[in-house]
Structure 1
Amino acid sequence: MTDTIAPDCLLTLVVPSALEEDLLDLLRSQPRLAPGFTLVPAQGMGTHIHLASSMEQVQGRARRVLVHLVLAQAQVQPLIALLRQALPTPQITYWATPLLAFGRLGELA
């Protein structure tokens, strides 16, 4: 979130665990486009999911990380373009949804 543009969008990235650190390094290097984010462990299932390890093949699901970013809609496409250039893989999925509200329940120290 920036000081001048109100956040109105939630961008979710779904990332294979093997690419998590690369993605996080990239996001941390872009504080203007990705000022903060939340990570959530997840598992992916479906016809387009690549099962990388033997365990994933046995279980039929792949380890993933969801990365949630609260942004202004104007920041989404520049960030996606940067990610697409740095990590051009079909294994990273994203979606953006309208954000109805965002705030903090108290003051920051």
Structure 2
Amino acid sequence: MNSNRKNAIIVGVLILFAYAVLASSVIESKIIVMISEALSGVAVITIAVIMFPLFKPYNEKLSIWYVVFRSIEGGLMIIAGILFLSNSISLLGIRDGIYVGHGYIFAIAALV
């Protein structure tokens, strides 16, 4: 199996995992939701890092920006997952703001 095929399989599995987190809102356990949010953030960052060598020959600057925006997105997902354990009203408000920011970063990275 060549390296591009292996990378494609890994990226596909990570994408499915990242989308599986959407189902975590159904789960009642805060710990499981927090862990799945954090792992989803790690998956988003890993996808960008794996895809970088494939995108780089076409446009290196855009490839770097893609990794930067996806890293910010993944970082926001990790932070939001950690804040999910909070019971404080102000921290939950910050978490909601992070989700809004995550949406904008996702859209910008998709355009890149």
Higher relative contact order (CA 8 A, sep 6+): 1
Q: TM-score normalised by the shorter chain: which range applies?
A: under 0.3
TM-score (norm. length: structure 2): 0.26
TM-score (norm. length: structure 1) = 0.27
